[in-house]
Amino acid sequence: MERSLSMELVRVTEAAALSSARWMGRGKKDEADDAATSAMRDVFDTIPMKGTVVIGEGEMDEAPMLYIGEKLGNGYGPRVDVAVDPLEGTNIVAQGTWNALSVLAVADHSKLLHAPDMYMDKIAVGPECVGKVDINASVTENLKAVAKAKNKDVEDVVAIILNRERHQAIIDEVREAGARIKLISDGDVAAAINTAFDHTGVDILLGSGGAPEGVLAAAALKCLGGEIQGKLLPENEEQRLRCTGMGIDDIDRVLHLEDMCGGDDAIFAATGVTDGELLKGVQFKGMKATTQTLVMRAKSGTVRFIDGNHSLKKKPNLVIRP
């Protein structure tokens, strides 16, 4: 992949964030998602690449744009797989809470897992804990391993977990072990990324979430030198058949980072829609707006935080009020 592609992709997530942020706190998650998707798709047409969506808004008959298999880019440049979540945290934006992102990942052709839309059990950690955790081990064992790797007491470890009834046993075990918990309503891509940045105060992600989000997190952690492990959790025969169609006959097989995002290169970009521990959300200031974006490339190890200032006079589609 070309070095310049990283900066080009920033424009994509910025556009999606600017459009969806207009819906913050308005209680309309579908409208927010549609705004992000439409803006992201428009900018993709200008990007110098030959991209194919492998993780997107659904199958062709389910989504009018950014559907799985859709071709993206202007037809010039590298041939790449693309994973997108135009608005990671639709409920977050609807409610006006924390950590909504516009997210995408790009990798060399055939290197991103075509993850089916189902749950995936996940464990994610930052660079210090690579090789120290095991999704098949107990919660307590993993907390102790993280504590040892980070030279801290278990009581100082923070686990981030989606606040769902299905996670009650995990929550109970974390509390019994003496570790601390940050419960989140949505947004486990942001949660996984936060494990790789000390200032977020997050040490480990535990629990199940969407499999497509697991692949996006894998791309980010590949750039950051972290680790994610996952196990698909099909709920019915149809989902089991989808796993088989992906070549995963052993449903209990552990998917490692390289299974989800292979090759030696990947690019990940995320723009904050609402404020979070890692990125500030979009702020509108009359006919101007500000954004903050994280963009990373695995091959070079480059991690950039980009503050954007946008003149909305030049982007009339971004100043339309809901």
CA 170, 176, 181, 184 dihedral sign is: positive
User: Do the annotations mark residue 59 as ligand-binding?
Assistant: no
Check whether 320 has a pLDDT greater than 80: no
* CA separation for the pair 32, 19 (Å, rounded): 8
User: Do the annotations mark residue 88 as ligand-binding?
Assistant: yes
User: Do the annotations mark residue 33 as ligand-binding?
Assistant: yes
Check whether 316 has a pLDDT greater than 50: no
Q: What is the pTM of this model?
A: 0.95
* Distance, CA of 202 to chain centre: 16
* Distance, CA of 278 to chain centre: 13
Residue 181: what pLDDT?
98
Check whether 295 has a pLDDT greater than 80: yes
> pLDDT tens digit string along 230-240?
999 999 999 99
CATH topology of domain 4-110+265-311: Fructose-1,6-Bisphosphatase; Chain A, domain 1 (3.30.540)
User: Do the annotations mark residue 57 as ligand-binding?
Assistant: yes
pLDDT band, residue 281 (cuts 50/70/90)? very high
Average pLDDT (63-70) is 93
Query: What is the domain partition of the chain in residue ranges?
Result: 4-110+265-311, 119-260
Residue 246: what pLDDT?
75
Average pLDDT (12-27) is 97
User: Do the annotations mark residue 164 as ligand-binding?
Assistant: yes
Residue 315: what pLDDT?
55
Residue 72: what pLDDT?
97
Find the helix or strand (DSSP H, E) in which 309 lies: strand 302-311
Q: Measuring CA to CA, how many Å separate 268 from each of 19, 207, 263, 305?
A: 20, 23, 14, 12
Q: Return phi, psi of residue 89, to 5°.
A: 115, 55
User: Do the annotations mark residue 76 as ligand-binding?
Assistant: no
User: Do the annotations mark residue 203 as ligand-binding?
Assistant: no
> Per CATH, the architecture of 119-260 is what?
3-Layer(aba) Sandwich (3.40)
DSSP symbols for 7-34: HHHHHHHHHHHHHHHTTTTSS-HHHHHH
User: Do the annotations mark residue 119 as ligand-binding?
Assistant: yes
